[in-house]
Amino acid sequence: MVLKTSDEEQILTAAIRLFNEGEFYACDETLVDLFLEASGEEKLFYQGLIQIAGAFVHLERAHYEGFLALLNEGITNLEGYLPTHKGIDLKTFVEELEQFKGGIVSNLKAQACDARPFSFDRMPKINWLEAS
């Protein structure tokens, strides 16, 4: 399957909406087609988004090691695309992911076994750049 640019934009928009609504598994699954069709360095962008969505699937299931490992890998893969890529404000997204991760790690240290309480309402969101 070869995706046209408009197809890619629609799929990416749908994936971002799913992520922002907390539908992390569905976001992950939606991004797979884009990842499979991407080539070169573009693959790392989609891989990073997939890893971050997957990290939050782990967090939902209280698999904290998996959350931290995938989140770190995803952030690393997105760093090469900062500050923006495909109209997405990646700089802010990565900063918010790092802050959120810090809160989870602090809770893990304080509670020794559980990262809760955390709020999915305070989770980082993927935002499009403001049109000028």
**pTM, full prediction:** 0.89
**With bands split at pLDDT 50, 70 and 90, how would you rate the model's confidence at 45?**
very high
Compare 105 and 36 and report the one with higher pLDDT.
36
Compare 91 and 132 and report the one with higher pLDDT.
91
HEC secondary structure over the chain: CCCCHHHHHHHHHHHHHHHHCCCHHHHHHHHHHHHHHCCCCHHHHHHHHHHHHHHHHHHHCCCHHHHHHHHHHHHHHHHCCCCEECCEEHHHHHHHHHHHHHHHHHHHHHHCCCCCCCCHHHCCCCCECCCC
Tell me, what's the pLDDT at 4?
62
Tell me, what's the pLDDT at 123?
86
> What are the structural domains of the chain?
5-122 (1.10.3450.10)
Residues 77-128 have pLDDT tens digits of 999 999 999 999 999 999 999 999 998 887 776 665 555 556 667 789 999 9
